[in-house]
A = this chain, B = another copy of it.
Amino acid sequence: MNERILELFQQSPEAYVSGEEISRRLNVSRTAIWKHIEELRAAGYEFEAAPRKGYRLVSKPDKWQVTELLQGLRTKVLGQKVHVYGEVDSTQTIAHALVASGAPEGTLVLAEAQTAGRGRMGRAWHSPAGKGIWMSLVLTPRVPVYFLPQLTLLSAVALCRSIQKVCQVDIGIKWPNDLLIKGKKVSGILLESSGEDERLKYVIAGIGISVNLKVEDYPEELRSVATSLAIESGAEIKRETLVQAFLLEFEELYALYLEKGFSPIRLLWEALSVTLKRPIRTHSPSGVIEGIADSLDDSGALTVITGNGEKIKVYSGDIELR
């Protein structure tokens, strides 16, 4: 029924279609129409409703343009195999299954919407249809598990730099790999890895970027902590362009890393950090740590200098900027 309603609107683009007319032509009740319009709204269609005029279809949800994405992609490996889905529970789950059935390095999973997007520390990630980039990238780096934290930081650098190239926002990295604009989260990365003894078997980088969400697309409780590129830059961003920029940036940094090691990546991370030299608080197994985030070491750990001058290394977890 939703499809038949959409057809009606597409027959008269830009115009209002009255509830009465829909009701008559499709032979359904006004209440049923209202219910279907709400379903379509949840799927990313935007309608304007005006008294006595009816409904007008304002915009359709963005759909991944795969041909366009691939044509403009300047990478050698990353993203050269793309799997595109409508609504999925999580692109991570799909990518794990693809790896199990032999998907090669660079395989990319894109979804319009996620019903159970995963964030850091077991948190949910809000991933409405067509408004963001919800993707997973398969990597099989030939580095020891020991170096995984460096890949986490590299991912953040690649994502931050590609966003800077595509839109005008003042974006920075909160340790280890959250991206913030004016203190609000705009993008997150979750690296799920699989290792065998000291060897890394594969890594799946789950990346969520809130691209074209409007303030009203966020649940009330997220509005003070989350934002989107469109909200902050004042302009809609073409998702394909950002994916292309990210994959290219990642591939270049990854090659640099494999050749030169972590030093150049650390310099870039430090330059983009909103964490270093700032007071932070974090919880460790031995209690709360408060101090100034001082530096990053080769293991990806954050060195924090506490009030009494003690240096403490923070290897994992969440930090709070104070």
Identify the A interface with B (CB < 8 A): 120-121, 142-149, 152, 176-177, 189-199, 285, 299-301, 315-317
Contact = CB atoms under 8 A, between A and B. Distances in A.
In the complex, the count of this chain's copies comes to: 2
B142 A149 contact: no
A191 B144 CA distance: 13
A55 B165 CA distance: 80
6 contacts: A144-B315, A146-B148, A146-B315, A191-B195, A193-B196, A198-B300
Contact of A197 (B142, B146, B190, B196): B190
Contacts of A285: 142
B198 A316 contact: yes
Contacts of A144: 149, 299, 301, 315-316
Contacts of A316: 144, 197-199
Chain A binding surface SS class = mixed
Contacts of A176: 197-198
Contacts of A195: 145, 148, 191-195
Contacts of A147: 315
A285 B299 CA distance: 21
A148 B198 contact: yes
A273 to B, nearest CB: 16
**Residue among A142, A143, A197, A316 facing the most chain B CB atoms (10 A cut-off):** A197
Contacts of A152: 197-198
Closest 9 CB pairs of A and B: A144-B315, A193-B195, A198-B316, A144-B316, A149-B198, A199-B316, A145-B148, A146-B299, A191-B197
Contact of A146 (B143, B149, B177, B199): B149
Nearest to A195: B193
A193 to B, nearest CB: 4
A298 to B, nearest CB: 9
A89 to B, nearest CB: 14
A320 to B, nearest CB: 17
